[in-house]
Chain A
Amino acid sequence: MNKWMHDELAVVTMTVNGHVYRRAIEPRLLLSDFLRDELGLTGTHVGCEQGLCGACTVLIDGAAARSCLNLAVSLNGKDITTIEGIRKRPQFPAIAQSLSRHHGVQCGFCTPGIVASMISEEEATQEEMDDLLAGHLCRCTGYVGIREAWKDLIQKKAGE
């Protein structure tokens, strides 16, 4: 059994974007802060820290999840992908182009989280897509552009 007292540092090993990192951290450190402050991966944005806004969404073992609602210490051994890793994937250029074409990005604060959700379920139905998109707040675009961009990607994928 692993145990760390509140004044001790916990040792965690995590694979992030294909690299293995080993760090000594406070047990109370959130994954979002671990990524940003310990690893310098500031593409993961922090909005509400209560799971509502979706800005901090990353992939944990391939599934979209809130990095602000996870203790880093609890993810020892897990595989994390952030927007910095997603942008190296072959699917990324098509996502970026589609968001650009449909004006799905304005200030860009919510975008890394939304892209994580988009890439997490490429086979999503329209209904599932809307359900995933409902898990993100965007205060600029009014969602129409993001939705069109996403729909376009799903349709193109289905046409392949």
Chain B
Amino acid sequence: MKPALFDYFRPQNLPEALSLLDEFGTDAKILAGGQSLIPLMNMRLAQPRIIIDINGIAEIGQIREKAEALEVGALVRQRALARYVHTDGMWELLRLGMAHIGHPQTRNQGTVGGSIAHADPSAELPLLFLTMDGEAEIASLRGNRKVPAEQFFQFVFSTVIQPHELLRAVHWKRPASKTAGFGFYEFSRRAGDFAMAAAAAIVEIDAQRRFTSIRLGLGGVGPTPVLVQGGDMLYGRTWSDNLIGSWLEDVTKGLDPPQDLAANPDFRRRLAGAAAHKSLFSAYQSANGKWEGRTHE
């Protein structure tokens, strides 16, 4: 298992990379951390004619604190981001979800931008990006643009990024509320495998523990990660297993999960429902804990 032949380019700065993409875009693949691309090339499932290695471009390897978001450059390693947000409760969901990506040995190299641009529907970062309402900053010689996560994913391994474009950075929006709770749950056969189903949840509640906001994302259940609609029906109600259970039954009925060796669609629907339930419960508990903490202050 070795990669097929390719021409190799290693630009030193962003303009060089963008000119290469403008010239060769349709024949080229971008090499960032390589933890998804190189296996595909080793198996010859991918045989790009041209590799544009962006590892030499220092300007896209930074994490920057912006007013409303954390700007994570395309080359920031997954482990570096996990370490950066490690002690900050605001980014708890990112930390919880990222712990499931591959292994520490692959997270040392795999990049945040690479995983999101690769858009594997069962990968954690695309799911987190969608659930956390992130924004993609896409650069090209013809101009830059920003695309919200909800419009970013198109199909399995497909995003709105055009062949002449490069994902320059990912913007992670700061949660609006300090009492928001977070939950993440994933079913996979072994630690580090892609999820058979995964769920990420952000829950806000009021002083009476009634839902005021629910944001629920599901992974592994369709050609892209899914942002679940209809959570607003639960606003004003407090937690009950039956209430959540019956909502999630409706939600999972509407899913169209893939059939593969790991699970059939029906099993996947049930896994997705269970993952959603568990992630929502953790998020509710965590929001509840933050209210308790506040009363004790």
Contact = CB atoms under 8 A, between A and B. Distances in A.
Contact of A131 (B7, B55, B104): B104
B108 A64 contact: yes
A6 B55 contact: no
Contact of A64 (B9, B41, B42, B104): B104
Contacts of B4: 28
B106 A135 contact: yes
Given A30-B2, A49-B1, A135-B103, A5 B7 contact: yes
Contacts of B9: 1-3
A49 B43 CA distance: 8
A118 to B, nearest CB: 12
A86 interface: no
Contacts of A28: 2-6, 41
Interface residues of B, number: 37
Interface stretch (A50-58, A94-102, A148-156): A50-58
Contacts of A134: 103, 190-192
A3 B7 CA distance: 8
Contacts of B102: 51, 135
Interface string A1-15: 111111100100000
A71 interface: yes
B39 interface: yes
Interface in B31-73: 31, 34-35, 38-39, 41-43, 51, 53, 55-56
A73 B8 contact: yes
A10 B4 CA distance: 16
Contacts, number: 117
B106 A10 contact: no
Nearest to A64: B105
Nearest to B31: A74
A60 B102 CA distance: 18
Interface string B187-230: 00011100000000000000000000000000000000000000
Given A64-B108, A131-B104, A49 B42 contact: yes
Contacts of B92: none
A58 to B, nearest CB: 10
11 contacts: A50-B43, A51-B39, A51-B102, A63-B109, A73-B8, A74-B53, A117-B104, A121-B104, A132-B105, A134-B191, A135-B104
Interface of A: 1-7, 10, 26-28, 30, 33, 49-51, 54, 57, 60, 63-66, 68-71, 73-74, 117, 121, 128, 131-132, 134-135
Given A117-B105, A132-B104, 4 more contacts: A2-B9, A63-B79, A65-B109, A135-B102
